């Protein structure tokens, strides 16, 4: 503030700040590196599904994140994932699905092959990164995935098998062979519905089976 005679001149310095919602459980990178024991499958699936839904919203608005990785996924109070850090993101014209750039950025290990080799950007760039993240959540490891990473997982759970299938297709070298985020969410939803429609297993122990004669005369034995 500067005073000249009876006039007072106030100089204001305008500053911009980024405000983020507090995420008490840190980020997914910490979750993968610092864990001392395995996490339940339901929690792992919740994180995968949440990341997919967040990316689905971005792609719906024609936004490519271009630096999707565990460190850029915050975890809320109930472990709900929140995608953050849009420093490399691009807002794309709705009619323009693929662009080429001379300014290649990203994180090694999560960058799609076409971005590295041809400086090509599309929605499938994020899908490749999503696939790597899914693999690390499924294996509960922050190490670079091996070629046969899926062979060590128990495939009895239908949702787990579907996530393995999706993760492998997301990491296809050919971007055209990768699914869209819309297709991924649809596949997960359909698998969830299928599981809910499966009737519960029936206890075949005769004394507990209402159709069994032993059950019907049980009161008299």
Among 67, 93, 142, 174, the active-site one is: 67
Non-local (6+) Cβ contacts of 157 within 8 A are 41
Structure tokens at 213: 């004669």
- In the numeric block, the tokens 């490891």 are attached to 141
CA distance 120 to 189: 30
154 is catalytic: no
Residue 13: CB atoms within 10 Å: 4
Strand, coil or helix: what is 176?
helix
Strand, coil or helix: what is 117?
helix
H-assigned helices in 89-219: 113-118, 123-139, 158-170, 181-197, 213-216
Torsion from C-alpha of 152, 186, 60, 55, nearest 10 degrees? -20
CA distance 184 to 31: 24
Q: At what angle do helices 181-197 and 123-139 cross, to 10 degrees?
A: 40
Report, as residue numbers or ranges, the catalytic residues: 67
């Amino acid at each position: 503030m500067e005073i000249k005679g009876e006039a007072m001149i106030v100089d204001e310095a305008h500053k911009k700040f980024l405000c983020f919602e507090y995420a008490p459980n840190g980020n997914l990178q910490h979750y993968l590196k610092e864990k001392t024991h395995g996490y339940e499958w339901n929690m792992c699936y919740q994180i995968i599904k949440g990341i997919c839904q967040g990316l689905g919203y971005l792609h719906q608005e024609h936004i490519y994140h271009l630096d999707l990785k565990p460190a850029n996924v915050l975890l809320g109070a109930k472990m709900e994932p929140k995608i953050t850090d849009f420093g490399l993101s691009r807002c794309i014209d709705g009619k323009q699905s693929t662009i080429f750039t001379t300014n290649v950025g990203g994180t090694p290990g999560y960058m799609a092959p076409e971005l590295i080799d041809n400086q090509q950007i599309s929605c499938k760039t994020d899908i490749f990164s999503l696939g790597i993240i899914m693999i690390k959540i499924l294996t509960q490891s922050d190490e670079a995935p091996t070629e046969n990473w899926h062979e060590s997982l128990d495939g009895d759970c239908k949702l787990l098998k579907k996530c393995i299938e999706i993760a492998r297709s997301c990491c296809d070298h050919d971007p055209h062979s990768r699914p869209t985020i819309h297709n991924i969410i649809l596949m997960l939803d359909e698998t969830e519905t299928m599981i809910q429609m499966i009737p519960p297993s029936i206890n075949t122990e005769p004394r507990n089976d209402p159709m069994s004669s032993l059950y019907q005369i049980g009161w008299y034995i």
